[in-house]
Amino acid sequence: MKNLLLAFIGLLLVGCAASSGGGAASDNADYDFNKRAIDILKPKCEKGNYSACNDLAISYQNLKDHKTAQKYYDKACQNNYQLACTNLANMYQSGLGVDRDKNKALEIFNTSCTNGGAISCYYLGDFYRSGDEGKEPDYVAAMSAYERGCKLGDIPSCTNTGVLYENGLGVAQDESKARNIYRSACFSGDSSACDNLKRMGRKR
């Protein structure tokens, strides 16, 4: 569902430049775009605009300066800008520019989710739900994280609570409740919820 958040936002930031063509010209345009963004965002970040710090980190990430990106994600996260916490945790989870450390990622996701980071709740739920690297899924913890993310306004988290209800994972199976959740999430714009709702309709 969601790919690495910082990469996605990075693509949005460089979209206009990247659309101008391919090859070296496009690479130069992307580089120039991100350098200009850094010149604009860095003073704002230094003055305490932590949204700017997050965007500044994305520009450094696009330029493959992961160490500096980590520095600014951390600065914004330490000042309760939760999207930066999510991006920082994703760096540790994927090993993108830092040593891969899933325990560190889990710690950041958990703290951010507790502090109101809705998207961190989504990734926290995914962490507990997955059974990768030999660990057993913890569907009860996944449901708790998704429910919190949903209450904080992250619609894909809502959809995932529906998935757990539909399949009886971590909760008693309740297909009616799953349909209602999918319907609400679909109306809120989550295409995967719409797909799930259609699929369940075909089961009748």
Q: Which residues contact 131 (CB under 8 A, 6 or more apart)?
A: 137
Q: Give me the number of domains the chain comprises.
A: 2
Which structural domain range is residue 38 located in?
A: 1-84
Tell me: do 191 and 143 sit in the same domain.
yes
pLDDT for the residue numbered 63: 95
pLDDT for the residue numbered 202: 76
Domain-terminating residue out of 65, 84, 103 = 84
pLDDT for the residue numbered 13: 37
Asked if residue 109 belongs to a domain, the reply is no
Question: What does the alpha-carbon distance between residue 75 and residue 129 come to, in Å, rounded to a whole number?
Answer: 29
Tell me: do 136 and 57 sit in the same domain.
no
pLDDT for the residue numbered 57: 97
Long-range Cβ contacts of 72-75 (<8 Å, 24+ apart): 72/45, 73/6, 75/45, 75/50
Query: Which residues of the chain fall below pLDDT 70?
Result: 1-26, 203-204
User: Is the separation of the CB atoms in 74 and 88 below 8 Å?
Assistant: yes
Asked if residue 40 belongs to a domain, the reply is yes
pTM of the model: 0.83
Q: Which residues contact 129 (CB under 8 A, 6 or more apart)?
A: 137, 138, 139, 142, 160, 164, 169
Asked if residue 104 belongs to a domain, the reply is no
Asked if residue 63 belongs to a domain, the reply is yes
List the CATH number of the domain containing 192: 1.25.40.10
pLDDT for the residue numbered 87: 97
pLDDT for the residue numbered 26: 64
What's the token pair of residue 196?
A: 């799930």
Asked if residue 99 belongs to a domain, the reply is no
Asked if residue 137 belongs to a domain, the reply is yes
Tell me: do 67 and 129 sit in the same domain.
no
Tell me: do 78 and 127 sit in the same domain.
no
pLDDT for the residue numbered 25: 61
Tell me: do 127 and 198 sit in the same domain.
yes
pLDDT for the residue numbered 19: 36
pLDDT for the residue numbered 134: 74
